[in-house]
Amino acid sequence: MSLKASESNAHSIAVTSAEDLKRHLGEIGVDDEEIEKTVDRFLSCTIKLEGVDTRAAHMLKTHVETLGGSLAMRREAHQFTVRDTDVILTASRHALQLLATRLKGEPFGLDVIGTEIVGCLSTGNRIMTWGGRTLDFGRKTYVMGILNCTPDSFYPSSRSATLKDAQKTAHEMIDAGADIIDVGGESTRPGSDPVPQEEEIRRVIPVIQALREGSDVMISVDTRKKEVAERALDAGADIVNDISGLHHGDELARLVARRRVPVVLMHMRGTPKTMQKAPYYKNTISEILRELGPSVAGALAAGIDPEMIIIDPGIGFGKRIQDNLRIIKELASLKSLNFPILVGLSRKGFIGEILDRPVERRLIGTITANTLAVLNGANIIRVHDVADAVEMVTIIDSVRRLGA
């Protein structure tokens, strides 16, 4: 067989975002106005809908296919022998926007589905601004350093037993490039018992005060308790990081709303004491999305600005190994909630089980998993090893900015 050079040099191009496509279009000389018109016609989106009325599914299929897309439903739904069906549809973003418009006023829940489709097309919050602080998620990936003011955190090297130890660790993380220091006074490792609020206050407030006096770094307080969060905010904290997703009490949500600060809402089943007792998921991402819904609804009902919400899928909190891996792989699906995503997987047990490594030898596994998480949509990574994480996100962000 004779081979000859291709005259057109046909080759695939990597397009993972609108920014990628715009760059490629610009490189071939497409004018700016045409680029903006073209992007949504070139980029496609695949969406899963659950529990759709079978009648709605058939109407949806007709609309989608008319617009040049495709739709799949369960086999029984084709013969109308089931009441509802999960649906997967795919089309260009432009077609999906037209679809949402067509669904307005349609029966069988299609009107609501149209609104949900529009939500899936959104890219989520890109800039968060409050009290002189800014998190620009379109500009960079943020590194949150873990400062454990506890005697029993799962990673012994991360424990800061005294105020002096905590200050030393915090300033080492700041010097290494940490964007946020997350101060916690209650270990939430699997099987841990809750800490009385007075003890938690005793552990974290002096640390936050000292940090604020000596640095302008952003500080988050890792707590479920309203009283601890309030004292921490008074001492200079900027963010509340709540592993309970505001399920520990309504008072914390009202405090966050009143103080107008960001809140991290994490997914967890049960409590740290019980969460790893035979956790089970049939569809990990779908269930996390559904179970984060009440947290978000509660935050909004309390008056928290939607621009101040960050979500955390809770890797390692009531999850099996396969659930943690599924979260990392399908993290982009959580973007449909339209909030920035924080991921905390540093040195956790699933990494140790996969690699057969003790906690002290899980750094490479952590960096690898965090790299995948950032590539799949994480905006903030919560880590023990700040210097290594900063190097990792700096490379990723530099590649992303290339040609932007």
Catalytic residues: 348, 382
3-state secondary structure at position 50: strand
Angle in degrees, CA 20, 21, 26, rounded to 5 = 100
Cα atoms found within 13 Å of the Cα of residue 205, Cβ hemisphere only: 15
Which 8-state DSSP code applies to residue 186? S
Strand ordering across the sheet containing 44-53: 44-53, 84-92, 70-73
Task: Take residue 127 and report the two structure tokens written for it.
Answer: 């800039």
3-state secondary structure at position 248: coil
Q: Which residues contact 113 (CB under 8 A, 6 or more apart)?
A: 49, 52, 56, 60, 103
* 261 neighbors 235 (Cβ within 8 angstroms): no
Question: How many of the other CB atoms lie within 10 Å of CB of 31?
Answer: 10
Q: How far is CA 44 from CA 15, 39, 95, 117, 320, in A?
A: 11, 10, 9, 13, 32
